[in-house]
């Protein structure tokens, strides 16, 4: 058996076209991270946020720094 370290995959996004957001359910409080297309206002879900580790993973995956806006 060979054990390989999982490669960190850095994805990119165009801030002029897409904005990172956290969508929060009003009923359950469930949070999903993704991107809103600034032209069509569509929200593309990337991952479920269960805790701060998931939030850090989302930030690291796309190189996002600072606070990410929440919307309901």
Specify the DSSP element, H or E, that contains 60: helix 52-62
Check: pTM over 0.85? Answer yes or no.
no
Q: Does 1 have pLDDT greater than 60?
A: no
Tell me how far CA of residue 16 lies from CA of 19, 31, 35, 38, 43, in angstroms.
8, 24, 12, 8, 15
User: What gap in Å lies between CA 29 and CA 59, rounded to an integer?
Assistant: 20
Residue range 44-56, pLDDT digits in tens: 999 999 999 999 9
Q: How many CB atoms are closer than 10 A to CB 47?
A: 14
Closest CA to 64 of 9, 6, 15: 15
User: How large a percentage of the chain has pLDDT more than 70?
Assistant: 88
């Amino acid at each position: 058996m060979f054990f390989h370290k999982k490669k960190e995959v850095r994805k990119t996004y165009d801030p002029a076209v897409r904005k990172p957001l956290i969508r929060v359910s009003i009923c359950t409080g469930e949070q999903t991270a993704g991107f809103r297309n600034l032209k069509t206002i569509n929200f593309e879900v990337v991952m479920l946020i269960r805790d701060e580790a998931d939030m850090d993973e989302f930030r690291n995956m796309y190189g996002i720094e600072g606070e990410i806006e929440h919307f309901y």
